[in-house]
Amino acid sequence: MASLRAILGFDICRSSACAVQELGNLQSLKEVAINWTNFTSGNVKHQKALMRTLGKLGTRNLQSFAICSRNLGSLEFLDSWSPAPNSLQKFRLSAYYFLPRVPRWMAPLCNLIDLNINIAELAYEDILILRELPSLLRLDLWLKSPQKDDTIVIHGVGFPYLKELFFSCQETCLLFEPASFPKLERLHTTIHVIRAKPYSHTFGIEHLKSLKQISVQVFCYGANASDIKDVDHAISTAVNYNPNHPRMNIEKRGMDLKLEERNKREHSKDKNLEKPPSKEDIGHTDKKRRKLHIEEHHSASAT
């Protein structure tokens, strides 16, 4: 056991508090993935045992920590991790629960590469912590809806090496200023038509100079066809202006079935108008012309 490097799927709440604390004595642990199955916030004994264990492991060589919870029980106790796990490279929170803020112990983590986190309301101080993480390559940021503001502005500082961003918040969209995310290659983001429409000409996707692939989930709830079309056009225009010409995928959610059918027809018409004639089309046209020419020739001969 002393040489164990990884513990995966360990259920904290179904184990004794003593067993949880024993994990802290494993000197070689580099990867820990746990389940938190408690449906209330009252399991204080296990919370304290877990945080003591993480405090010990964090002073050694813990590189990856993941916690999975499929209930609404509070995980706010994670904010009390101390001392900070300076060797941590990966932190993943898979839960329905949203932390009230980015844990302040994350600020000095110079080795953190991969971060998946749920935040109830993203404040400016949280953005400061995230953007100053010097090694961060991938960020999965899930925000609770609605946020206080309709937009989150990403300024042209910080996030020096971030390559992948997965952002999810139904009613808040990201706006990118020049020089923001200088290394970002893959972006998944969300846009709510009604809330984003006033900002549709300032999305700033064209400023992401390294972007290779963008996926946008558009929430159409309560929007009319004109607004949906305007926002869709604004996204496409911003992507087209991006000098790196990234691949684009737009997925619409919550669209009225009649609007969706109409949108598909209009999109199909637009594609047909832009589509150049194929070899088969040209060949078919030539055949019709030859047939007409022969019929005209026979008609002239008969007279």
Q: What does the pLDDT look like over 168-185, one tens digit per residue?
A: 999 999 999 999 999 999
The percent of residues above 90 in pLDDT, for the chain, comes to 76
Residue 277 pLDDT? 47
Asked whether the bond before 83 is cis by omega within 30 degrees of 0, the reply is yes
pLDDT reading at 60 higher than 70: yes
Phi, psi of 13 (to 5 degrees): -75, -20
Contact 65, 85 (CB under 8 A): yes
How high is the pLDDT of residue 296? 45
pLDDT in tens, 85-100: 999 999 999 999 999 9
- Judged against a pLDDT cut of 60, whether residue 76 lies above it is answered with yes
Question: What is the SS3 assignment for 247?
Answer: strand
Residue pair 173/201 in contact (Cβ under 8 Å)? The answer is no
Cβ contact 114:92 at 8 Å: yes
The C-alpha atoms of residue 100 and residue 74 are separated, in whole angstroms, by: 10
pLDDT (average), residues 277-283:
47
Each residue's pLDDT tens digit, 245-271 = 999 999 999 977 555 565 556 555 554
Sign, Cα dihedral of 145, 150, 154, 155: negative
Domain ranges for the chain? 1-111
How far is the C-alpha of 97 from the C-alpha of 95, rounded, in Å? 5
CA–CA gap between residue 163 and residue 22 (Å, rounded): 37
CA–CA separation, 277 and 26 (whole Å): 69
In the predicted structure, residue 66 carries a pLDDT above the cut 60: yes
Q: pLDDT at position 259, please?
A: 58
- State the sign of the Cα–Cα–Cα–Cα dihedral 43, 49, 53, 54: positive
Question: Considering only CA atoms, which of 132, 136, 100 is closest in space to residue 118?
Answer: 100
| pLDDT score of 267 | 55
Is residue 69 exposed (0-12), middle (13-18) or buried (19+ Cβ within 10 Å)? buried
Quickly state the pLDDT bin for 26 (edges 50, 70, 90).
very high
Let me know: does 138 contact 163? Beta carbons within 8 Å: yes
Contacts of 175 (CB under 8 A, 6+ apart): 151, 152, 153, 154, 199, 202, 203, 204
Share of the chain above pLDDT 70, in %: 82
- Of the CA atoms within 13 Å of residue 19, those in its CB half-sphere come to 8
Q: Is the pLDDT of residue 25 over 80?
A: yes
* Cβ neighbours for 230, distance < 8 A, ≥ 6 positions apart: 197, 200
Q: How confident is the model over 65-73, as a mean pLDDT?
A: 91
Across all residues in the chain, what is the average pLDDT? 88
